[in-house]
Structure 1
Amino acid sequence: MASFIEDYALLSDMNTAALVSRAGSIDWFCAPRFDSGAVFASLLGDRENGRWLLAPLESVNPSPVEEVRTERSYRENTFILQTVWHVGEASVRVTDFMPLAGGTAIVRSVEGLTGEVTMLQELNMRFDSGKTTPWVTQYDGPADSTGAVDVSQSMLVGMAGPHALVFRGDTIPEGQYGNHTDTFTVSAGQNYVFSLNYFASNHNPPAPIDYSTAITYTTAQWTEWSDLYVPPAIAEATENEISAIRTVPNEEISAESTTSSSIGLPSTNREGEAITNTQLPEIDLATYHELAQTAMHPIVPSTPEQIQTQNDESYREARLRSLLVLRALISRETGGLVAAATTSLPETVGGRRNWDFRFSWLRDVAMAMEVTLAHGHERETAQLRNWIMRAVANSPYNLHSVYGVAGEKDDLERRLALPGYENSQPVRAGNGSDDRFQGDALGQVLVTFAHLRENGVGEDQLSWSLQKALLNSASERIGQPDQSMWEIKGDPHVFTHSQAMLWAAFNAGISAVQEHGLDGDVELWAQCRDRLAQDILSQGFNTELNSFVQTYGGTHVDASLLQLAQIGMVTWDDPRMMGTVARIERELQHESGMIYRYINVRGFDGFEDQDNLHFAASLWLAEHYIRSGREADGRALLDTVLSAANDLGLMSSEYSYAENRQTGNFPHTLAHIALVRAVQALEI
């Protein structure tokens, strides 16, 4: 049974990712790429679909003998997760990470802190998103003169078709058919290390991972990314002053230095006997949700008066974690940025809005380029820029909104034979939306390249020729219906936001010629820009409502209209924009302050129900508040959104206020980009 979405922590090696639950189970892991078939897929099913559990035995039993509490945090500015388990008076620390060198692997260590704790390990290896069980063989290490086997050189190798896994550790779990379990007791001062490597089955297993070397290098790589950015408030400080305000150094992290959140999971059997899968108890869904609620608190909107004492340091930390999320979800091989690490986590639990987000949206990649460049990450900005050019080169005259991680086109959407997260169907692999033209994608790419030029990033023969091709194709899209940036499944409409993004594309092309000396048909582009401006103001703005509207001639609004000021079509405090914000507050805003993307009037988006509050849209509103002179309101909304993020600062795509839980794919790139922008607006 999967945990709450917000109970997961992200691990990444910048090529793929894994999700670790608060209960100590790795329930999602695709190898070797973000979009590969899952090795562990219990997130969308149960443990028989693959998982790797490593937790105190006490925590998985239905009758508690000792109180079990957990505390978890990332090592400073990394994706190295540390979870401290307290079992009565005893405690252990589990460290989970994916090495940033040496192939695709997950490393887990258990360190005894106080007393003795019996740990349970359950390794269920699968391939093809839970469909295939590998054939597993145990290879023992050499025996000494007494016949004792050197366990440190033993390994389990699971193989099926092109895929293979090798497990190594200080104890080797027993079992068959890909299901292996064992128990072991950890005393204070003891340390057990385990690793799982994915490799192609036609190759030999990779060499064992040296724990000390791997964690030192991985820490250094994450820290190098983090240290490139120094917040404006401390930019003038000396190195000693900067060090003084950072969080606790890695070596000082202990059970006392992490953030505590009691789960109250139970325990039993202390004999240390191996437990088979059929013997291993599961906590039922209702009980788990009741227990997990102790780790989440209802989001409570702050008032402007309370905001006056808000510590800006928490905003800076949230921004840095969001920048780290972007780095974690950019493929170091291809430069593609995936929208999330998961597929088919439902936007409404039990509903059908379940999509595969392990793809790269042109819009997201372009928006990410702006924040990476603004925060000093020129190398990653270049990666993203080169990815966009390769993707667009598929066919700039037939631009898609979504591409594969390497920039490939893949419009084949498949259904996976998995139960689904809390039985939410369907479970999808692939994204069929990439064959539809979306005006926002074309516009965002051109707007971002204009920002790069303004910041001194020059064009080359390939980049500008591709942009000209995009502009020429855009001239044929004026007034064309599409599915909006939200990719609705209902009938296409002429969306005001889509047309505004085309306006921004032509505006960017004109500035490239007039201000940067590039060649192009500026006369045609100016005609297109002016025509779009006239159409948007006459059909996309409702004078009676004093508001821009969702579709030409419509009366409703949606959150995408908040981007009109972002692209410079109107100023942040333009009366028409302020009127639009007032309309959004009236129509889309929840009592918490967060907003919906749109109201699904009469199944407008192709579904019958209303989806949940949207993280990114809410953060766009917070940014608009701040930039239009309503800073107190912006801070209040920013606080509300941060209270809905999980304890590690991670956000999915949506949030259910009624159920006090995150929904949708996780963690969501667009939400974290929007958070960076909102904090950046504060200039702190």
Structure 2
Amino acid sequence: MSSLPIAAHALLSDRHSAALVTTGGSIDWLCCPRFDSPSVFGRLLDPGAGHWSISPAGEYTGTRRYLDRTLVLETTFRTATGAVSVTDALTMGPDNHGHELGRGVPHLLIRSVTGLTGQTDMNVSYQPRPEYGLLRPLLSHVDGGVTARGGAEWLVLSSPVPLDLADSTATARFTLRAGETVRFSMHRSTLEAKPARIWSPDELADRLAATVAAWRSWSDLHQNYDGPWRDLVRHSGRVLQALTFQPTGAIVAAATTSLPEQPGGARNWDYRYSWVRDASFTMEALWVAACPDEANDFFAFLTTAAAGAVGEGTPLQIMFGVGGEHDLTERTLPHLSGWRDSRPVRAGNDAWRQEQIDVYGELLGAAHRLADQITDMDDDMRGFLVALADAAARRWRQPDQGIWEVRGEPRHFVYSKVMCWVALDRAVKLADRLHAGDRVAAWTAAKEEIRRAVLRDGWSDSAGAFTQYPGSGTLDASNLMMAIVGFLPAGDPRMLATIEAIADRLTDERGLVYRYRTEDGVDGLTGGEGTFLLCTFWLAHALAMAGQPERAREVFARAAGYANDVGLLAEEVDPDTGELLGNFPQAFSHLGLINAAWAIQQAEQRR
């Protein structure tokens, strides 16, 4: 059983794929060549699914950090006899500039080990297990390293120390003295490549330096937020950048699959895909955390991925593969035990079959916010955005699965109706840019009809708040967005009442916010879940807009305090233990942090 806390992991990314590194120096998760590829190292989900560890042979203590303005990880180990640092990176191209972060990547993972003081005995354990641990590859010595062949994979490990091979695992022990550096690397080669490509120490040093320079160039050129929690906001912007698939502009919801919403539970989903909703929110957050040159790539990706899919009888698909794939059929991986025995482990996500009418508003909201950055709006993109607005006007009356992707019966979720209003409101504002002046009257009429319906049917006198769907008494944190998107002023009495109801009745004893109460049974799933960090940041955001920045700061600090030692957030927090839960790191949580910090800054400036 894999039981290491989720918070014990740090992220590496080359904007094609992602790895997770533990506090003990083990890479326990790596999918390549894409975020959604089968894992090569998967110990995160099962002890036998592969890892690559480099750590002291005896007892040690460790600390870690990202190098300034990068996602290059440095872990320092201290033992009774000496200290060493391990620097880990998935590399960027050596000729990258900031706007080209991630181009030309050979899927090269570098691990550079430097002696700091005294001398330290180090252990290496390299156990690749492709296909989510199904394969035990053939390991063979080559000059300067080891190759691993199995299935479609040929992995090449460059090693400056001799390795012993047994049971599809390579191991070594070596001693490192102060001032000495050894550099390891692994890359995914092709089956036709002969001889195996071994990287020299000097080449690895150059590639590592180029990767540090690439991250810093992007951060310096693009990140200009200087408000409260500046470092945390800018770091979150880098995390969102790291979760972007550079070849297409797709943004994944998280780097992992099947990390649970409740330990031992079955709410375990694959988040390594691009949700229209998540990506749209992320683009808006990047507007705050960075200058989003990525806007053109993202909208071009969606225009292509969804081409022809927003017609009279066809709803917009809510998510795509990072290459634009539509079929994301879900399957279970029964050979994996799951993190803390949380089964099933899943690959794929059947939510792609759902209809969620909120996506029209999220996309048009992002297009409106980023209008100045979308410099390549051609006729195809205009037609796509116009079709989204028309679909919102046509579909807003129908039930759907909602923002939380319930697997129960479709309902008339208030949030979904509000986001259809957003779609039409933003389309009217973009009408000149969309060459759609002839549609403004119809869009305006539909927008006002939605507004009347939500104000009439979404409010519950008995709950004293807007509720999840008409006739229900269930509170839903997504209704905080009514203020954030401008459907109602945050100071409106009904909005204030909803904010207070959520703050009072939809929080745990730590003051963190649930999405909704799972015991109400609306989502069609068994078991419970943790509190949602995104929803807690929404509460901070709404409080700031309501003119209560002091309370907003308290709520923000409460949520941000759950970031791990290298500033990463998962999806949820266990209400009993305070541990991070869910897929990691979670784009939703980081974009909520960014937007809430910005809202607090704006509220304080107004005051």
Q: Say yes or no: TM over 0.5.
A: yes
Is contact 1:163–1:198 with CA below 8 Å preserved after alignment?
yes
**What secondary structure, in the 3-state scheme, does the structure 1 residue paired with 2:58 have?**
helix
Q: Where does 1:201-600 land on structure 2 (aligned, <5 Å)?
A: 201-204=191-194, 205-206=196-197, 208=199, 210-229=203-222, 231=224, 233=226, 312=228, 315-393=229-307, 395-397=309-311, 398-416=315-333, 417-453=335-371, 459-513=377-431, 518-600=436-518
Q: Are positions 1:604 and 2:518 aligned together?
A: no
**Pairwise CA distance, 1:354:** 0.1
Tell me if structure 2 keeps the 8 A contact 1:18–1:29.
Answer: yes
Q: 1:173 Cα shift?
A: 1.8
- What amino acid does structure 1 have at the position aligned with 2:140? T
1:375 and 1:597 map into 2 onto residues whose CA distance is 25
Letter matched to residue 551 of structure 1: Y
**Distance in 2 separating the partners of 1:211 and 1:230:** 28
Measure, in 2, the Cα distance between the counterparts of 1:206 and 1:377.
Answer: 37
Matched, 1:164 2:154: yes
Change (3 A) 1:577 1:91: same
Q: Does 1:184 align with 2:174?
A: yes
Separation in 2, partners of 1:232, 1:320: 7
Judged with a 3 Å threshold, the aligned counterparts in structure 2 of structure 1 residues 527 and 79 are, in CA distance, closer, same or farther, namely same
**Counterpart amino acid of residue 382 in structure 1:** N
Q: Is the 8 A contact 2:54 2:125 kept in 1?
A: yes
**Deviation, structure 1 residue 601:** 2.9
1:91 aligned residue? 83
In 2, distance between residues paired with 1:555 and 1:83? 49
> What does residue 10 of structure 2 align with?
9
Q: What is the CA-CA distance between 1:70 and the residue it aligns to?
A: 0.6
Cα distance in structure 1, aligned partners of 2:435 and 2:441: 15
How far off is 1:377 after superposition? 2.5
Q: Is 449-458 or 559-568 further displaced after alignment?
A: 449-458
Q: Distance in 1 between matches of 2:290 and 2:561?
A: 28
- Superposed CA offset, 1:4-25 (max 9, x none): 1000010111100100000111
Specify the SS of the correspondent of 1:524: helix
* 2:506/2:516 contact within 8 Å kept: yes
Counterpart mapping for 1:11-160 below 5 A: 11-46=12-47, 48-59=48-59, 68-101=60-93, 102-140=105-143, 154-160=144-150
Secondary structure of residue in 2 paired with 1:531? helix
Q: Which piece of structure 1 moves more, 665-674 or 569-578? A: 569-578
Aligned partners of 1:52, 1:357: CA distance in 2, in Å? 23
Aligned residues: 583
Residues of 2 paired with 1:568 and 1:199: CA distance?
Answer: 51
3-state DSSP class of the match of 2:21? strand
Over residues 160-183 of structure 1, what are the superposed CA-to-partner deviations in whole Å (9 max), with x where a residue is unaligned?
Answer: 232110001111321134211111
Deviation at 1:206, TM superposition (A): 3.7
Going from structure 1 to structure 2, the CA distance change for 1:515 and 1:122 (only over 3 Å counts) comes to closer
Deviation at 1:392, TM superposition (A): 2.2
Q: CA deviation at 1:2?
A: 4.3
In 1, the alpha carbon distance for the partners of 2:406 and 2:212 equals: 41
Please report how far the alpha carbon of residue 562 of structure 1 lies from its aligned counterpart in structure 2 after TM superposition. 1.0
- Of residues 9-18 and 469-478 in structure 1, the stretch that sits farther from structure 2 once superposed is 469-478
1:326-354 deviations in Å (ceiling 9; x for gaps): 11010111111100000000010100000
1:638, CA displacement in angstroms? 1.3
Between the aligned partners of 1:12 and 1:482, the Cα distance in structure 2 is 35
1:523-553 Cα distance to aligned partner (Å, 9 max, x none): 3322321221121111111244442111122
Report the secondary structure of 1:580's partner residue.
helix
Superposition pairs for residues 607-622 of structure 1, below 5 Å? Answer: 607-622=525-540
Contact between 1:35 and 1:359, CA under 8 Å: does it hold in 2? yes
Counterparts in 2 of 1:516 and 1:406: CA distance versus 1, 3 Å: closer
Does the CA contact (< 8 Å) of 1:75 and 1:81 recur in 2?
yes
Unpaired segments ≥5 residues, structure 2: 94-104, 603-607
Q: Which amino acid aligns with 2:69?
A: N
Match of 2:29, SS? strand
Q: Whole-Å Cα distance in 1 between the matches of residues 339 and 243 of structure 2? A: 22
Q: Provide the C-alpha distance between the structure 2 equivalents of 1:574 and 1:138, rounded to a whole number of angstroms.
A: 70
- Residue 193 of structure 1: CA displacement? 0.9
User: In the alignment, residue 9 of structure 2 is paired with which amino acid?
Assistant: Y
Q: TM-score scaled to structure 2, two decimals?
A: 0.92
Cα offsets for 1:185-218 (capped at 9, x unmatched): 1111111111111123233434526122111110
Cα displacement string for residues 425-462 of structure 1 (whole angstroms, at most 9, x for unaligned residues) = 00000011011111121210011112233678574211
Cα contact 1:175–1:181 (8 A) shared by 2 = yes
Structure number with larger C-alpha Rg:
1
Cα-to-partner distance string for 1:306-336 (whole Å, 9 max, x where unaligned): xxxxxx4xx1111011000011010111111
Counterpart of 2:101 in structure 1 is none
Structure 1 pair 485/106, CA: closer, same or farther in 2 (3 Å)? same
Residues 657/426 of structure 1: CA separation in 2 closer, same or farther (3 Å cut): same
Deviations 1:621-669 (A, max 9, x none): 1111112111111111111112111011100000113112100000000
CA distance in 2 between partners of 1:375 and 1:121 (Å): 38
**C-alpha contact 2:296 2:376 (8 A) present in aligned 1:** no
Asked if structure 2 preserves the Cα contact closer than 8 Å seen for 1:135 and 1:177, the reply is: no
Q: Equivalent pairs: percent with the same residue?
A: 32
Look up the equivalent residue of 1:613 and give its one-letter code: T
Give the Cα separation in 2 of the matches to 1:2 and 1:105: 28
Q: What's the TM-score once normalised by structure 1's chain length?
A: 0.82
Aligned residue identity for 2:63: E
Kindly indicate whether the alpha-carbon contact (under 8 Å) linking 1:121 and 1:183 is maintained by their aligned counterparts in 2: yes
2:99 match = none
* TM-superposition CA deviations, 1:280-321 (whole Å, max 9, x none): xxxxxxxxxxxxxxxxxxxxxxxxxxxxxxxx4xx1111011
Helix, strand or coil: the match of 1:26? strand
Cα contact 1:2–1:42 (8 A) shared by 2: no
Q: Deviations 1:76-103 (Å, cap 9, x if unpaired)?
A: 0111111111112511111111111240
| Partner SS, residue 421 of structure 2 | helix
Verify the 8 A CA contact 1:453 1:459 in the aligned structure 2: no
Q: Distance in 2 between matches of 1:158 and 1:444?
A: 44
Contact 1:496 1:549 survives alignment (8 Å)? yes
Q: Tell me if structure 1 keeps the 8 A contact 2:288–2:598.
A: no
The answer to whether the Cα contact below 8 Å between 1:8 and 1:22 also exists between their aligned partners in 2 is: yes
8 Å contact kept, 1:365–1:388: no
**2:578 aligned partner:** 660
Does the CA contact (< 8 Å) of 2:233 and 2:289 recur in 1? no
